[in-house]
Amino acid sequence: MFGRNRVSENVQDWLTGQFDWAVAAGVLRSDTPLVLPTEAFFSARSGPPDQLVPALIREILRLMNRPDDYIDCVPIDRPGAALRAAGAFQSLGEVAGAWDGDGESSVVFYDPEMAARPLLLISTLAHEVMHHVLHRHFADDLLDGAEEELQTDAQMITSGFGLIAMMGAEEAGWAGYMRQPTRAHALAMFHAVRSLPIAQSEARLTSRMKKALRSSYNQLEKSTDITRLRDELSARAA
């Protein structure tokens, strides 16, 4: 086990494999930034959902180095908040976003009400856009079933969206497919591989998640896997 984070050796090995793949595939590059929920990364922060969501998706694609890709956006048709609060249609109320596509087209379905919660909206859209990236560009490397969702969460982190993923899960009160301690460990790996100080992430996390991130980061300082991944990034950038 890895200290307070409760990340098993098997999980760390799996995450290391995900980082190995990301470096080889060019998803994680020597210039991949830690994406922050700020205007420096997202100029579109408010507006009607039918304008805001396409603008955010374009910005996410740009940050994932896929600026020429196109994704359709379709709002989820669901009951209003009053009906959900009354206990009806509970399952529909849990749907925040989804992706669908084939070799010709790609669609992200989104909840228009999330436009009032921009951090959660960006986190959800980034997850769905990563589904698109994996299916469109790396279909032969996709894992099966529930493992694809974990793979998508992991590659969202390697592509720079780890902090947003953690903050979004905290705001939603639901960790999603990946546990928050695992997500913290993966974010620590991103910081370590990219040689980025963790202060940027720590400043935006809850006390609990800040401790998890710091614990993992300290444990990774002498990791030979991190050193190897750094060297591979440098070699690919040369």
Q: In this predicted model, what pLDDT tens digit does every residue of 125-158 receive, in sequence order?
A: 999 999 999 999 999 999 998 899 999 999 999 9
pLDDT in tens, 82-121: 534 444 433 333 457 899 988 778 999 999 999 999 999 9
For strand 106-110 and strand 97-101, is the pairing parallel, antiparallel, or unpaired? antiparallel
Per-residue pLDDT, 63: 98
Per-residue pLDDT band at 67 (split at 50, 70, 90): very high
pTM beyond 0.85: the answer is: yes
Q: Is the pLDDT of residue 191 over 90?
A: yes
How far is it, in rounded angstroms, from Cα 24 to Cα 18?
A: 10
Residue 49: half-sphere exposure toward Cβ, Cα within 13 Å: 15
Query: Which tokens go with 25?
Result: 């595939």
pLDDT in tens, 6-48: 789 999 999 999 999 999 999 999 999 999 999 999 998 788 9
Q: Region 46-67: what's the mean pLDDT?
A: 96
Q: Region 204-218: what's the mean pLDDT?
A: 95
**Whether 74 contacts 99, CB under 8 Å:** no
Per-residue pLDDT, 78: 64
Per-residue pLDDT band at 80 (split at 50, 70, 90): low
Per-residue pLDDT, 93: 38
Show me where the domains of the chain are located: 3-237
Question: Could you tell me which of 189, 182, 172 has the C-alpha nearest to residue 209?
Answer: 182
Q: Is the pLDDT of residue 2 over 60?
A: no
Per-residue pLDDT, 173: 77
**Whether 109 contacts 120, CB under 8 Å:** no
